Amino acid sequence: MVSSPSSICCYSLKEGIIPIVLYFNDPVKGLNPSNVKLNSDFVFDKDLQWRPLVITDSGYSNCWATYLEIRNKDCSTSQQFSVEVSIPCSDDIMSRSGSHCNCPVHFTFTVELGNNNDEAHDIDLFHDPISWSSSESFQSHGKPSCVAFDQLNITSALVQEESRWNLDRLSDEIDLFRDLPDENSKFAKLTLARLLLACAAIKSRGSSLIERKGYCEEALGFFSDLINLDPSHKRYYEDERSLVLMDQLTCDMETFMKYCSVQVRSNSATLNHVQLCRLSLTRIGFTERMLWVQMLDLSHNKLRSIEGLEALQQLVCLNISNNQISSFTSLEPLTKIVSLKALDLSFNEIGAHPIDTTRYMCSSPFSHKVERCEAFVECRKKSVNVEEFWDAILFFKSVNLVQLDIKGNAVADKDSFVTVVTTLSPSLKWLDGTCIH
């Protein structure tokens, strides 16, 4: 059983929605209201459906979400409500490896609804545009009160004994590969990196944090070597290096807090802020450790995909400027974040490539069909070439942005693009720093 005194301001409450995210270490399927039980003393729609935020093969997913729609959010006094989530042992919940859920989980959290007369109730988070490059929009105000991400780790004596046996075997293999005569062997370096990461994964189940970081640090060195030794597979090594770096930065709260702060707007609105910019990241990983993040700065990296960000259901502001995003299809994960209001896409490569290679790199519903919908009809009425902007149309009809920065992309200079954005984003207030309403 887990409960936490940590708190977070849920901005999706303005729409009467509370997202609940369950993240599993292995992809699972079979979640439904009968095996994931929710109980609360406030009124919400009982017909809840758990849906995967990312579907792998055969309907399995690591990340599942549901949304509480609060019916009694309008109240004259401030009220607190408890929410209980229980997952009993169930044969219906099955992992991709074939194992069933055999360890019950129970946790609680509290929802506080402010009264209608509360000054904070009607905070306009975007009265002024958010500026990521200056300190005028925000003031740092200490560290976020976030929920520790390891409270539900499940270990047993049997698992620990098996881990010790595996660690001994892996250590023997590492010693063998270290003794190979060719120090620049790509095969040896890649195998050593994978063996070291396997050791780090085993150490994550225990308290040997220093030793675990040592494994990751050495693996990073091997991937850096491989980027230079084997340029034909550079992108693969860069992605693997990025995952190791993300693991290293977020594996414990003491390290992670160096990149975290609470940002306070001039109107007193607070946001849990994480800054992971200028790290040469090409891929995002370990987002299960950042579920509480509301403001995320990933600018000045080398991101080509943002797969994984859909798990951040509290995210309000996202900066992915100065990356290598090549099309709107790679932004499809953002359409699943109901709280997202501010998005900085400036200085990427959207619209610069005649062939949308992202359609083949990233799994996305945008990549497989162009559905007939009202958004296409609306854009045609305004003389927009929907064949040219089909991916932009599908994206902007699926998000509810208040602020968008997109300068420095080829698509922003095309005729009719602003028409697409303003037609499909009625809530948009700020476009490239200019108030349009």
My answer on whether 232 and 271 are in the same domain is no
Give 251's pLDDT tier (boundaries 50, 70, 90).
Answer: confident
8 found inside a domain: yes
Mean pLDDT estimate for the chain: 83
Give 68's pLDDT tier (boundaries 50, 70, 90).
Answer: confident
Segment 209-237 shows an average pLDDT of 93
My answer on whether 411 and 274 are in the same domain is yes
My answer on whether 219 and 110 are in the same domain is no
Residue 303's DSSP bridge partners are none
Structurally, how many domains does the chain consist of? 3
My answer on whether 26 and 110 are in the same domain is yes
Q: What pLDDT is stored for residue 156 in this prediction? A: 46
Segment 7-20 shows an average pLDDT of 75
Segment 381-387 shows an average pLDDT of 92
147 found inside a domain: no
My answer on whether 335 and 380 are in the same domain is yes
My answer on whether 265 and 404 are in the same domain is yes
Q: Is residue 199's pLDDT more than 70? A: yes
172 found inside a domain: yes
Domain boundary among 184, 216, 250: 250
Q: What pLDDT is stored for residue 354 in this prediction? A: 67
Task: Give CA torsion, residues 30, 17, 147, 85, to 10 deg.
Answer: -40
Q: What pLDDT is stored for residue 264 in this prediction? A: 82
Q: What is the CATH number of the domain that holds 270?
A: 3.80.10.10
Q: Is residue 210's pLDDT more than 70? A: yes
pLDDT in tens, 316-365: 999 999 999 999 999 999 999 999 999 999 999 999 876 555 554 555 55
Q: By mean pLDDT, which of 91-100, 136-145, 262-271, 397-406 is the weakest?
A: 136-145
My answer on whether 347 and 414 are in the same domain is yes
Segment 177-205 shows an average pLDDT of 88
Q: What pLDDT is stored for residue 368 in this prediction? A: 46
Q: Is residue 148's pLDDT more than 80? A: no
Residue 251 in contact with residue 209, Cβ under 8 Å? yes
170 found inside a domain: yes
pLDDT in tens, 86-132: 998 888 999 988 888 888 888 888 888 766 554 444 456 788 888 88
Domain boundary among 203, 226, 250: 250
- Please tell me the distance from the alpha carbon of residue 280 to that of residue 364, in angstroms, as a whole number: 24
Cα 420 from chain centroid (whole Å): 26
Segment 255-276 shows an average pLDDT of 85
Give 79's pLDDT tier (boundaries 50, 70, 90).
Answer: confident
- Please tell me the distance from the alpha carbon of residue 189 to that of residue 185, in angstroms, as a whole number: 6
My answer on whether 188 and 57 are in the same domain is no
Q: Is 181 exposed, middle or buried (0-12, 13-18, 19+ CB in 10 A)?
A: exposed
Higher local confidence (pLDDT), 199 or 119? 199
286: left (phi over 0), alpha (psi -120 to 50) or beta: left
Cα 35 from chain centroid (whole Å): 25
My answer on whether 227 and 272 are in the same domain is no
Q: What pLDDT is stored for residue 157 in this prediction? A: 45
Output the furthest CA–CA distance in the chain (Å, rounded): 76
Number of H helices, E strands in the chain: 9, 18
My answer on whether 284 and 333 are in the same domain is yes
Distances in whole angstroms, Cα of residue 274 to Cα of each of 47, 90, 106, 381: 34, 36, 28, 41
Give 159's pLDDT tier (boundaries 50, 70, 90).
Answer: very low
Q: Is residue 17's pLDDT more than 70? A: yes
Task: Fill in the amino acid letter for 367.
Answer: S
Q: What pLDDT is stored for residue 5 in this prediction? A: 45
Residue 2 in contact with residue 151, Cβ under 8 Å? yes
Domain boundary among 215, 250, 285: 250
Cβ neighbours of 188 (radius 10 Å): 18
My answer on whether 313 and 358 are in the same domain is yes
- Give the domain extent around 246: 157-250
Give 22's pLDDT tier (boundaries 50, 70, 90).
Answer: very high
386 found inside a domain: yes
Higher local confidence (pLDDT), 398 or 57? 398
Residue 322 in contact with residue 350, Cβ under 8 Å? no
In three-state secondary structure terms, 313 is coil
Segment 234-255 shows an average pLDDT of 93
My answer on whether 390 and 300 are in the same domain is yes
- Please tell me the distance from the alpha carbon of residue 330 to that of residue 80, in angstroms, as a whole number: 39
This prediction's pTM: 0.87
| 354 Cβ contact list (under 8 Å, min separation 6) | none
